[in-house]
Chains A and B, each alone.
Chain A
Amino acid sequence: MTKANPPLERPHRQQILWVSLLVAAICAPFVRYLEPSILAFIGLILGVRLLALRWPKALPNRWLRTLLALAGIANCLATYHTLNGQDGGSALLLSMLALKLLEIEGRGDLRLVLILTGFVCAVLFLFDESFLTALYVAMIAGVSIVLLVELQGGLPGDGLKTAARIGAQLILQAIPLTVVLFVLFPRLDTPLWNLVQDQAKGYSGLADSLEPGRLSELVLNDDPVFRVRFAGERPSRRQLYWRALVLRQTDGRRWTQGESGPSPSPLAQAEGPIDYEIVLEPTGQRWLFALDLPLAAPEGSSLDPEYQILADQPVTGLKRYRLRSALDYRTAEPDEAARKLALELPAWILTPRLRRLVEGWRAEQPDDWAVVQQALAYFNREDFYYTLLPPPLGPNPIDSFLFETRRGYCEHYASSLAILMRLAGIPARVVVGYLGGEENALGGYTLVRQSDAHAWVEVAISGRGWVRVDPTAALDPRRIDRGPGTRLLSAGPVRLEPENTSGLVRWARNLRLFADTLEATWQNWILDFSAKDQRRLLERLGLGDWGEYGLISLMLIAVSLTLGTILAVLMHERKRQDPLDRLYGRFCQELARRGIPRLAHEGPLDYGRRVAVSKPELAPWVEGFLGLYLPARYGTQRGPETAQALARALKRRPWRPS
């Protein structure tokens, strides 16, 4: 019954070229995610396709195509050992899509390729959800629509230009409907079927242990970790210690978490609570970041005795949570077991000069806190340098750092201070997290990047509980390596005062902030929109009790209204006037402008005669017009072409002196 696509409408070479280029364009972003062997295969096929446009002989025949298809499948299997999952599946999809380009018989094949391109776009979003990718995909979708219009044909003149105009119209008209569907289409709280979690997906960021060199890798990593919106005033940057992990156990090189303490110890005192909301990028880990110190854990997570917040599930998607922290706090005293744990040291690292150093401090100061100050003064006084490129340490890292190299990053300082304190009999532990963050006034939030990674120390002082000590901040600011890497990232963010930057750097930073604002808005409004937001919307509309049904009925109503409006606008046609009447009206108007308006009782014949008498120079024109109009209006000589002839006659009016 529907015969719109006769099987063999041969596409033009141009059309094949456009579609091939489009496929190449959608394959391009996958370069970052797929293995080189897959990319090479796709590149080869696309190359053959483009060559065959020039030399059709290069097109492989059916047998060769079958062979190529088998080779493509084998290639995917050899690379990923599966055709399922995100990577294997998309590799297969892209390979086969490229292969389909070698088998274009009719326009239907090109349409198929264009439609599958849309599917590939959706797959791309599984890999990358950034704003720029979305823009890129929007462009590709737009071009696909235009090419579909062009393929349908039946367009006048320059097909592609008209197709572009029609495509733009379609896209604009589709946008309201898209918004309605996006907002109101019910989302799932839980997946329909279990997803195969791809283990290969790498997350950068903190690991659950610390050893020299770990964090300095991150310092060169500019990726955002999370964004914070403070409910009230933003605290000063020096107070923004974002706590993630507490490391209590050391083997002399590495710090690890060790066993958890026995029981939660409530804060003995907490003042100046701050409310804020964090939007966390996927980390693949369970810990959540909180300002030192969090007062309670958000929903779906728990607060452990060391004030780490652990989510129930690893964070694999964007996560938003609200928190309350106290900047001014006093923790409870650690109990005996915890103290003991926080004093453990492997014996092998304790060299004589290390012991001498600590014993010297102890001898001068019986008070624990005074010893801490001694240690910090030591870092400040001696020639310790802060650098991103520390020299390699010997077999005993503590000893060689403190007495030989004296060049290191925050992890070196935190680790050494904690060991020194333990040696002095003061319970100490290392805390890993982030420090500071870049304030984005435009977006009204603070952005914390991987390069803000930091490590510091907490010591237990009797009467004060666990107290934060940051040895890096104690360094003499003059001894900071101002190498290019450090300067570029303004690294050593707040722990060292940021230097005065030149205009160009400031401009670049502002640009970066602007780009990040876009990204954050994008996350807030598009990526993070969920069933929760839909429920909130329903509640605001007073339909909270209706649940999903409310949402569905709301969606149906909104879709109908939107469609109805679009259709009404599209169908709006001026009241159809008979073309003859319209032309006669214009004729009378023209004469009225020349000072001879038609009288109400006058028929066309009388009117024409009167005009011919009073303005003889108009007579030939008037006669010419009426000579066509009268037989058409009152006679039978009327066809679709009459109006055209009349319009032409109307245009032949004599020039009117103004």
Chain B
Amino acid sequence: MIALSLEARAQRYFDTLQRRVQPGPDGLARIEGSRIYILPTRTGFLYGAVLLAMLLGSLNYQNNLGLLLTFFLAAVGIVAMHHTWLNLRGLEIQARAGPAVFAGEQARFEIWFQAGRRPRYDLRISYQGEQMAPVAIDPEEQRDSGLQVPARQRGWLVLQEIRIETGYPLGLFCAWAVVKTPAKILVYPWPVPVAPEPGHDAGEGCRPQRTRHEEAEDYLGARPYRPGDSLKQIDWKAFARERGLWVKQYGGEQGQEVWIDWSAIELADPELRLSILTRQVLEASTISTRFGLRLPGVIEPVGQGPEHTERCLTHLALFGYDQGQSSP
């Protein structure tokens, strides 16, 4: 166990020593020769050992044909090593974020390869020790390869860096490069399977939240003007500042409004609270009621539609997130 952890620690140390391939201004990371690392594989060491035995035997028996074969195989090995290196050199990579997912799901990054002039074979993406099936690309072609990463926690899932490996052509050498890939995917909190309906007393002290503001006093926010809105509610000041037509929204303006409220759920574990709120948001969005979200420090006014839902989920995902932490 200790040896293993030592090995892991040594590995981590060596990992920090390796120079990374940085993405260029166009987002493509081009693998330069100096960023490629290469070592013989187990097969490579075996190959070398067998060649050494052949060399000694042939020298000793003064068998020129044996020597010729040995030198030929050695030359093939050396040439193959350069091919391994060249197989990565000049390759361009870009990681792109897929859609947001819920914690517990698989987040999907698209890894784009641009082959450049030479064909590429046996490119394997390896991320956190997991290796993917090899891909090949024709010259001047592009290809993308999905990289599934389990989303364990809500918040930003940042890819940080991936390893591109290749054993092409003979598997005697393994070349790799570590590529910085700044792509990130938003991970929403894990939604609990069943959640109490918002605004209802769920027996745990959830007070009804339904439209206390009969007099339409609480200003909730602004939304773009839609035909049919009352002229009284238009934010003329904003219009005078050339911001366009906005409608001021007041709480309780419409009958079917629901507030999804952090304080309505009395649970000690904030993550569980967020999970319940997430389920409530999802429920509310499916039955297309207008809803708002109230979190400590964040208020998302009542609204509707997929974008509104997404905004709410984003608030839930990033709740409590440090700003510095959230932007990689």
A370 within 8 A of B: no
B131 within 8 A of A: yes
A571 within 8 A of B: yes
Query: How many residues from B make CB contacts under 8 Å with A?
Result: 72
Query: How many residues from A make CB contacts under 8 Å with B?
Result: 68
**Bound form: Cα–Cα A134–B122 in Å:** 33
Closest A residue to B90 by beta carbon equals: A573
CB under 8 Å from chain A, chain B span 110-127: 112, 114, 116-118, 121-124, 126
In the assembled complex, the CB of B236 is this many whole angstroms from the nearest CB of chain A, namely 36
Does B68 contact A526, Cβ atoms closer than 8 Å?
Answer: yes
B58 within 8 A of A: yes
In the complex, what residues of A have CB within 8 A of residue B76's CB?
Answer: 145, 170-171, 174
B216 within 8 A of A: no
Which of B11, B43, B56 interacts with A108 by CB under 8 Å?
A: B43
**In the complex, which of the residues A4, A154, A173, A639 has the most CB atoms of chain B within 10 Å of its own CB atom?**
A4
In the complex, what residues of B have CB within 8 A of residue A167's CB?
Answer: 169
In the assembled complex, the CB of B255 is this many whole angstroms from the nearest CB of chain A, namely 44
**Bound form: Cα–Cα A193–B54 in Å:** 15
CB under 8 Å from chain B, chain A span 516-571: 526-530, 563, 566-567, 570-571
**Bound form: Cα–Cα A573–B86 in Å:** 11
Does B75 contact A174, Cβ atoms closer than 8 Å?
Answer: yes
**Bound form: Cα–Cα A1–B40 in Å:** 10
B268 within 8 A of A: no
**Bound form: Cα–Cα A171–B78 in Å:** 11
Chain-A contact segment, one of B160-168, B269-277, B318-326: B160-168
Which of A156, A530, A644 interacts with B121 by CB under 8 Å?
A: A156
Does A115 contact B50, Cβ atoms closer than 8 Å?
Answer: yes
B59 within 8 A of A: yes
Chain-B contact segment, one of A53-61, A177-185, A330-338: A177-185
Closest A residue to B56 by beta carbon equals: A192
How many A-B residue contacts, CB cutoff 8 Å? 192
Does B71 contact A178, Cβ atoms closer than 8 Å?
Answer: yes
Which of B69, B138, B169 interacts with A170 by CB under 8 Å?
A: B169
**Bound form: Cα–Cα A181–B79 in Å:** 14
**Bound form: Cα–Cα A185–B70 in Å:** 11
In the assembled complex, the CB of B56 is this many whole angstroms from the nearest CB of chain A, namely 7
Does B54 contact A166, Cβ atoms closer than 8 Å?
Answer: no
A195 within 8 A of B: yes
Chain-B contact segment, one of A118-126, A254-262, A343-351: A118-126
Does B122 contact A155, Cβ atoms closer than 8 Å?
Answer: yes
CB under 8 Å from chain B, chain A span 136-180: 137, 141, 145, 148-149, 151-156, 162, 166-167, 170-171, 173-175, 177-178
Does A118 contact B69, Cβ atoms closer than 8 Å?
Answer: yes
In the assembled complex, the CB of B76 is this many whole angstroms from the nearest CB of chain A, namely 4
Does A125 contact B63, Cβ atoms closer than 8 Å?
Answer: yes
B6 within 8 A of A: no
Does A1 contact B60, Cβ atoms closer than 8 Å?
Answer: no
A129 within 8 A of B: yes
> With contacts A119-B54, A141-B72, A174-B72 known, is A108 near B66, CB below 8 A?
no
Chain A positions within 8 Å of B, measured between CB atoms, are 1-6, 108, 111-112, 115-116, 118-119, 121-122, 125-126, 129, 134, 137, 141, 145, 148-149, 151-156, 162, 166-167, 170-171, 173-175, 177-178, 181-182, 185, 187-188, 191-193, 195, 317, 526-530, 563, 566-567, 570-571, 573-574, 576, 638-641, 644
A–B complex contacts, Cβ < 8 Å, 8 sampled: A1-B11, A108-B42, A115-B50, A129-B64, A152-B171, A177-B79, A193-B60, A567-B82
Contacts A2-B41, A129-B65 supplied; 14 other A-B pairs, CB < 8 Å:
A4-B171, A118-B73, A119-B50, A122-B70, A162-B121, A177-B71, A178-B71, A181-B71, A182-B68, A188-B59, A526-B68, A527-B65, A576-B117, A639-B27
